[in-house]
Amino acid sequence: MHLVVAGSSLCAQVTAAALASTGHEVLLYVDEARHLHSLEQGNSLWREPGLDAFLSEQLNSGRLTVSLNYKPSNNPQRIFLAMAPNQQDEAALLIKKLAKVPEADVLLINQSTFPVGTTEYLEALLQTSGSSSAKRFAVSLPDLMQEGSAIAGFTRPNHLLLGSSSDWAEAEVREILRPFNRRRDNLMVMTPREAEFTKLAITGMLATRLSFMNDMANLADSLQVDIEKVRQGVGSDQRIGEHYLYPGCGFGGLSFSRDVMSLAHSLESSGVGSDLLEEVLSINERQKELLFRKLWDYFKTDLKGRTFAIWGAAFKPGSDRIDNAPVLRLLQALWAQGAKVKIHDPKAMPALSDWAGKRDDLEFCDTPYDALKEADALLLVTEWKAYWTPDFEEIKNSLKQPVILDGRNIYDPAYVRSLGFTYFGVGR
């Protein structure tokens, strides 16, 4: 088929490359010249593992093209809409383009995280702009990808949500996605509103689990209980499962945080409200200050003039993004107390530099061990694999005093303490 993917999001790039890889002729329609230039060179706009090579392969095959222009024809139009949540106006402009070919059959596949009900609105616009004989439908296919494993998330999905009010539209989507839906039927069909709401509800549930475990970890500290044992015990209950039960120093991420806030806003706007989601978000913001509070107590409020090493800035391993990342709140708190920070991250240093600007109290380091020199303590914020088994002897020799604050509970407290460190975890 000839397909169009509209958008510059991670979802748009993965979708376009994946569809082209199965033989479709795909046009990736972007809205900024700088995006066009980068993508034409096979350079993804996101630092997603494997995506640059995937894009380059499909561009070189000729099945994938990138353009600033999209001119719909009278032939059937199959369009994936993978735009940012604030691009609803751009989505409506795309419908206006399609209005110029009222005789064409149109299938609009909305992957964007727009407010609940947007797919129905776009379908109404489509049908208003079409002739009585044309099939013109919009379906919701929510983006369920996770940064760091986005390609696998699309090509080998565990489940897919499809919101459709048309048997014809459902059949078309099934055919397009058939190469990715062979092991078993992963497609769960519902109404467009149900699919849109389910996406937000999934994110809200995951955020709730994280915040619940963070609350339990803070309680475990006061009860002198090891939260790791508790986590394993809770996760072993099949009614609950082990996913998203790892306590830490807070969650971040543009899409994850935004989806939770969107769900909370939807509930508030409807008049229902949600004390639970408000508390989930509140717990998460407090959790981002956890390492700072532990540091504040250990040094008896005397942080001025001290230097601290931080390992990890990205909101999650595998990403170069710092959107709503815990490190941002931590840095602001340390700077407010007159402390200096030396930081290392494998990918997120450019983004952090753009956010912070040039500061005398922030030093970017080429290696994790460079960050330790003359530092009063080490704070681990992002659990990159490169940090999991460090040279503890070198850490101890580099720090002014052997203090580790482990914001992701990746180290064994007993082992680290046996080496002479003062160790603080989350609920440990």
Q: Where are the domains of the chain?
A: 2-190, 198-286, 288-424
Give yes or no on whether 2-190 and 288-424 have one common fold: yes
pLDDT at residue number 244: 87
pLDDT at residue number 274: 65
What CATH number belongs to 288-424?
A: 3.40.50.720
pLDDT at residue number 268: 63
Residues of the chain predicted below pLDDT 70: 254-257, 261, 264-274
* Beta-sheet strand order (sheet of 403-406): 362-364, 340-344, 307-311, 377-380, 403-406, 422-424
The predicted model scores a pTM of 0.82
Q: Which CATH number fits domain 198-286: 1.10.1040.10, 2.40.480.10, 2.40.30.30, 3.40.50.150?
A: 1.10.1040.10
What CATH number belongs to 2-190?
A: 3.40.50.720
